Amino acid sequence: MSYTVTGYDKHCRLCQNPPRDEAKAMFVKDVTSDRVVIETPAKINLFLKVLNKRPDGYHNINSLMQAVSLFDRLTIRRTAEPGVRITQVAGDPVPSDSSNLIARAFARMASELALSGGLEVTLAKEIPASAGLGGGSSDAAATLLAVNLLYDCRLDRNQLATIGAEIGSDVPFFFSSGQVLATGKGEVIETVELPQEYWLLLVKPELAVSTAAAYAELKRPLTALGKPVKFRRYKTVRDLVCWLHQTVNDFEATRVGENPAMLQIRQWLDSLGASLVRMSGSGPTMYGLFTVNPERELPRRYNRKNWWIKVVSPVRILEL
């Protein structure tokens, strides 16, 4: 399945018969008339090619993206008072004002659908901030989904993805199956079938990376928009990894080359026997792909207290 997020009917909430694929999934843990609890996943980029700069200031990209078993938990309540109040109870501190993607997501929905009232959000972050793992975009997608449920908007996933694309290029991904080939600025989604019989060891140094700064610091000339990466279904992890070794993350050369800690992480993951070592997104999180769970080795091989580490595995978001 593939789709490009496009227009939607802003009066859809008034439809008597909601669309058959009305978005209700993701990792919704609890729903009442005024409260939704959602666990929303991180993502990794299995490869990331940065192409030409667009007239709108964004860049065209080509990326294979996979959702992983690392989750932020949002408890979202509908309130009569307008606006969004965010209380963070765990994880890397993030802004609680209007710059937060949670607040921006609600503001966009409220504006487009003429919603009255607001939200009260309790945020428990497990996904590190500014890490290349899509935590902010994931939280924004969860907010759109929660508003859709709490305010009975009855939007389907394509309509939610359309709104999400106006908030952040990665947001539409979180309304997919969790396995996609992304093009355009990230909003053109093609669902792919990927093997899931592997583990990922995520490692992040004490470093935060701005996506905008990462694009500005790309040192190589940006290529013109050429033929997209050809992807076929890979039935085994071995075949997938062999193909991934022919791809790159264009941000990696700049980031790893200029940061000794990231180079050390790459070398450490190699020493553990990772089948593939790569950076996710614009960094700084690195990951090693393993066909055997590396968790047993960590107590014996890990001695750096200033690195954040986590073993995760691939997950699906929505069954399409």
Tell me: do 299 and 240 sit in the same domain: yes
Query: Which of 172, 191, 210 marks a domain boundary?
Result: 191
In a domain, 319, yes or no: no
Number of helices and strands (H, E) in the chain?
Answer: 8, 12
In a domain, 71, yes or no: yes
Please confirm, yes or no, whether 9 is among the known catalytic residues.
no
For residues 117-148, one letter each, b for 16 or more C-beta atoms within 10 angstroms of the residue's C-beta and e for the rest, the string is: ebbbbbbebbbbebbbbbbbbbbbbbbbbbbb
10 Å CB burial of residue 232 (0-12, 13-18, 19+) is exposed
Tell me: do 99 and 180 sit in the same domain: yes
Q: What is the C-alpha separation between 127 and 132, in angstroms, rounded?
A: 10
Query: Which of 191, 223, 246 marks a domain boundary?
Result: 191
pLDDT of res. 319: 57
Residue 305 clears pLDDT 90, i.e. is over it: no
Tell me: do 238 and 177 sit in the same domain: no
Q: Which residue has the tokens 């019989």?
A: 197
Beta-strand pair 199-204/286-290: antiparallel
User: Which residue among 139, 156, 170, 250 is the active-site one?
Assistant: 170
Tell me: do 164 and 111 sit in the same domain: yes
User: pLDDT tens digits for 275-301?
Assistant: 999 999 999 999 999 999 998 877 667
Tell me: do 172 and 213 sit in the same domain: no
DSSP bridge pairs for 2: 190
Please confirm, yes or no, whether 97 is among the known catalytic residues.
no
User: pLDDT tens digits for 99-117?
Assistant: 999 999 999 999 999 999 9
Tell me: do 166 and 209 sit in the same domain: no
CATH number at residue 134: 3.30.230.10
Mean of pLDDT over the chain: 86
In a domain, 67, yes or no: yes
In a domain, 7, yes or no: yes
Residue 136 clears pLDDT 90, i.e. is over it: yes
User: Which residue among 43, 125, 204, 310 is the active-site one?
Assistant: 43
CATH number at residue 234: 3.30.70.890
Tell me: do 115 and 28 sit in the same domain: yes
Q: How large is the average pLDDT for residues 184-208?
A: 92
Tell me: do 266 and 122 sit in the same domain: no
Is the CA virtual torsion 151, 155, 157, 159 positive or negative? negative
Q: How large is the average pLDDT for residues 113-131?
A: 96
Tell me: do 174 and 264 sit in the same domain: no
Q: Which residue has the tokens 């079938």?
A: 193
Q: How large is the average pLDDT for residues 43-66?
A: 91
Tell me: do 70 and 214 sit in the same domain: no
In a domain, 320, yes or no: no
In a domain, 317, yes or no: no
DSSP string, 181-211: EEETTTTEEEE-------EEEEEE-S----H
In a domain, 94, yes or no: yes
pLDDT of res. 221: 55
Structure-derived torsion over alpha carbons of residues 222, 233, 2, 170, reported in degrees to the nearest 10: -50
Tokens of 269: 């993951």
Element (H, E) at 215: helix 211-216
Q: How large is the average pLDDT for residues 28-43?
A: 95
pLDDT above 70 as % of the chain: 83
Domain that holds residue 255: 199-312
User: pLDDT tens digits for 142-190?
Assistant: 999 999 999 999 999 999 999 999 999 999 999 999 999 999 999 898 9
Tell me: do 55 and 184 sit in the same domain: yes
In a domain, 318, yes or no: no
**Which residues, including other chains, have CB under 8 Å from residue 210's CB and lie 6 or more apart?**
130, 282
Between 172 and 17, the higher pLDDT residue = 172
Q: Return the axis-axis angle of helices 101-113 and 157-165, rounded to nearest 10°.
A: 120
Residue 6 clears pLDDT 90, i.e. is over it: no
pLDDT of res. 208: 72
Residue 209 clears pLDDT 90, i.e. is over it: no
Query: Which of 167, 191, 215 marks a domain boundary?
Result: 191
Q: Which residue has the tokens 């539409």?
A: 172
Tell me: do 142 and 24 sit in the same domain: yes
Split into its structural domains, the chain has a count of 2
pLDDT of res. 228: 56
User: pLDDT tens digits for 235-264?
Assistant: 899 999 999 999 999 999 888 877 899 999
Tokens of 91: 């994880």
Residue 35 clears pLDDT 70, i.e. is over it: yes
10 Å CB burial of residue 10 (0-12, 13-18, 19+) is middle
pLDDT of res. 9: 38
